[in-house]
Amino acid sequence: MSIVTLREVCFEASRLRYAVGAFNVTSPVQMKAAIEIAVTKKAPLIIQTSVSPTKFYGPEFWGASFRALADKASVPIVLHLDHCTDVEFCKRCVDAGYTNVMIDASKHAYDENVRQTREVGLYAHSKGCSVEGELGTISGIEDQIKVTEDDSALCDPETALSFVESTGVDVLAPAIGTAHGFYASKNPKLHFDLLERIEKLINGKGIRAPMVIHGGTGLPEESVRRLVALGGAKLNVSTELKHVLIDSSFEYLDMHRGDYEPGKLDSSVHQKTMLAIGAWMDLLGCSGRV
């Protein structure tokens, strides 16, 4: 079946030590491009929407578009809600056909994070949907969430283990130094040792909650390979795809002044988006896995 939960693709990736790319989209053109390149590459795929574009069209629109485009694809595909701080909106997305939701209660104290994540988890699991939670706080700007470097906090391994046990999350996003947006440095300081400790503690004696790496845009290729080798089973790419969409639109419009053919503009964005996502799939080692 082509439409699957995040749990299914991430457990398989965690077991075989590759990562599945999770790509943020804001338009159906990007969704179509992501699915087509996944089929070409024979790669599992995670399509995700941030809260603003999800609200702009409504989760029911995204759920229906996803089903229409993904239903007959020959690869497993997930529709995921990214960084949602609102428990009730998570539930609405579950009802609308999302196959995974991320409740991001990481700004709250531990107990409240557990309570909210557990509530979303119980609801989602009762409807056949899986859940991602976050522990520690990832810095940078993601949609409506802004976290300065001073306010960011790394994930503690022992706390991560009790978080997974108390909440029942299917996948965990531990804060290990990656960030949203572009990195200020070409070689950002990542805490590989921390990822290794968390991964061993949680998944060392059997996979319980595969690791999610946020902030993929701009990471050096070597760092990406290392994160995957250490257990990163889902890697998020958002900022890069926003730039591909805007830059390829400007490029097309600059070259075709007076040419009022919106379909050709869409084709240009579609083509460039496929190229960008395809390169990530090769880097993450998920091409050819289906």
Phi, psi of 237 (to 5 degrees): -130, 115
Catalytic site includes residue 150: no
Least CB distance to Zn ion at residue 7 (A):
18
Q: Which is nearer to Zn ion, 19 or 39 (CB)?
A: 19
Least CB distance to Zn ion at residue 10 (A):
15
Q: Which is nearer to Zn ion, 41 or 143 (CB)?
A: 143
Q: Which is nearer to Zn ion, 139 or 287 (CB)?
A: 139
Whole-angstrom distance, CA of residue 124 vs CA of residue 167: 12
Q: Residue 234 interacts with Zn ion (CB under 5 A)?
A: no
Q: Is residue 154 a contact partner of residue 140, using CB atoms and an 8 Å limit? A: no
Q: Residue 80 interacts with Zn ion (CB under 5 A)?
A: no
Interacting residues with Zn ion between 163 and 182 (CB under 5 A): none
Q: Is residue 33 a contact partner of residue 68, using CB atoms and an 8 Å limit? A: no
Q: Please give the full DSSP string across 50-78, using - where no structure is assigned.
A: -HHHHHHH-HHHHHHHHHHHHTT-SS-EE
- 152 CB neighbour count, 10 Å cutoff: 16
Whole-angstrom distance, CA of residue 88 vs CA of residue 225: 36
Phi, psi of 84 (to 5 degrees): -100, 130
Q: Residue 214 interacts with Zn ion (CB under 5 A)?
A: yes
Q: Which is nearer to Zn ion, 140 or 231 (CB)?
A: 140
Least CB distance to Zn ion at residue 25 (A):
14
Least CB distance to Zn ion at residue 120 (A):
16
Q: Binding segment for Zn ion among 29-37, 85-93, 208-216, 278-286 (CB under 5 A)?
A: 208-216
Q: Is residue 158 a contact partner of residue 117, using CB atoms and an 8 Å limit? A: no
Residue with tokens 């760092």: 223
Structure token pair of residue 183: 């990195």
Whole-angstrom distance, CA of residue 89 vs CA of residue 77: 22
Q: Which is nearer to Zn ion, 10 or 39 (CB)?
A: 10
Phi, psi of 103 (to 5 degrees): -90, 115
Least CB distance to Zn ion at residue 236 (A):
5
- Taking CB under 5 A as the rule, which mask of x and - marks residues 96-135 in contact with Zn ion? ----------------------------------------
Q: Which of 71, 82, 104, 143 is catalytic?
A: 82
Interacting residues with Zn ion between 130 and 159 (CB under 5 A): 142
- Catalogue the active-site residues: 82
Residues that bind Zn ion (CB under 5 A): 142, 214
